[in-house]
Amino acid sequence: MPDRSHEKGLPGPVAGVDEAGRGPLAGPVVAAAVILPERGGPRGLDDSKKLTAKKRADLYPRIMDCAAVGVGIVEADEIDRLNIYWATMKAMTLAVDALARELGHAPGHVLVDGNRLPRWTYAATALVGGDAKSVSIAAASIIAKETRDAIMIAHADTWPHYGWASNKGYGSAAHLAALRDHGPTPQHRRSFAPVAQVELPFTTTG
């Protein structure tokens, strides 16, 4: 389980940063930056991928109620322009920028899940597997995942063929079949091979 050992000894406040949505064929990539209270905070924080949907949904408002949070979103068309790596770096930067605006100053240090850091001026450390090691990053992973899932569920109302309420834009069999039948939507990442290979243009009557 993640703990606070990686936050200890760093100049505070320490923010954890993680992203959701690198792999899907549709929708944005979303990053969150979270500063938990020094004491207390929600119990049961863990890597969002290890939690049930019910547990994530339970933890989301509890994190939002007690923590300082910033969110960064990069949409599909910009993912296509930048590529997914740089879009993810941008989403993380936007998230920390938003957090800094909420605080009125930069975080003392940023812990980022992964092995790379964005090109920014914040004092930061990359932590591989950080969402399973640091409670701050675990909290960020939950906020990013829940935020992105809510976006995809909303998009499913507009484009119902693709099953985004359940697959969240990932390349499930049903999503791929709908992509072949109806073509890509404005929410699809056209630089991703399964989308680029589809020749049918999306129409509003599709």
Reported as a single tens digit per residue, the pLDDT across 177-204 is 999 999 999 999 999 999 999 855 555 4
CATH of the domain at 29: 3.30.420.10
Tally the domains of the chain.
2
Q: What is the pLDDT of residues 40-94, one digit of tens each?
A: 789 999 999 999 999 999 999 999 999 999 999 999 999 999 999 999 999 999 9
| Res. 205: pLDDT tops 50 | no
In 3D, which of 29, 27, 32 has the Cα closest to residue 59?
Answer: 32
Q: What is the pLDDT of residues 128-143, one digit of tens each?
A: 999 999 999 999 999 9
Q: What is the pLDDT of residues 108-124, one digit of tens each?
A: 999 999 999 999 999 99
Residue 189 and residue 104 in one domain: no
Residue 115 and residue 174 in one domain: no
Q: For position 152, what pLDDT does the model report?
A: 98
Residue 64 and residue 116 in one domain: yes
Tokens 């957090």 — which residue? Answer: 99
Q: Is 61 left (phi over 0), alpha (psi -120 to 50) or beta?
A: alpha
Instruction: Provide the residue range defining the domain that includes 138.
Output: 14-157
Residue 205 inside a domain? The answer is no
Q: For position 52, what pLDDT does the model report?
A: 95
> b or e along 2-36 (b: 16 or more beta carbons within 10 Å of the residue's beta carbon)?
beeebbeeeeebbbbbbbbbeebbbbbbbbbbbbb
Residue 8 inside a domain? The answer is no
Q: For position 60, what pLDDT does the model report?
A: 98
Residue 89 and residue 171 in one domain: no
Q: For position 199, what pLDDT does the model report?
A: 57
Residue 4 inside a domain? The answer is no
Percent of the chain whose pLDDT exceeds 70: 96
Q: Annotated binding residue at 58?
A: no
Beta strands in the chain (DSSP E): 14-20, 29-35, 68-74, 109-113, 124-127
Residue 204 inside a domain? The answer is no
Residue 71 and residue 148 in one domain: yes
Q: Annotated binding residue at 7?
A: no
Residue 86 and residue 124 in one domain: yes
Residue 32 and residue 42 in one domain: yes
Residue 85 and residue 169 in one domain: no
Confidence of residue 206 (pLDDT cuts 50, 70, 90): very low
Q: What is the pLDDT of residues 2-53, one digit of tens each?
A: 999 999 999 999 999 999 999 999 999 999 999 999 887 899 999 999 999 9
At position 80, the amino acid (one-letter code) is D
Rounded Cα–Cα distance for residues 107 and 12 (Å): 7
At position 64, the amino acid (one-letter code) is M
Residue 114 inside a domain? The answer is yes
Residue 67 inside a domain? The answer is yes
Q: What is the pLDDT of residues 152-183, one digit of tens each?
A: 999 999 999 999 999 999 999 999 999 999 99
Q: For position 140, what pLDDT does the model report?
A: 98
Using an 8 Å Cβ cutoff, are 95 and 71 in contact? yes
Q: Annotated binding residue at 19?
A: yes
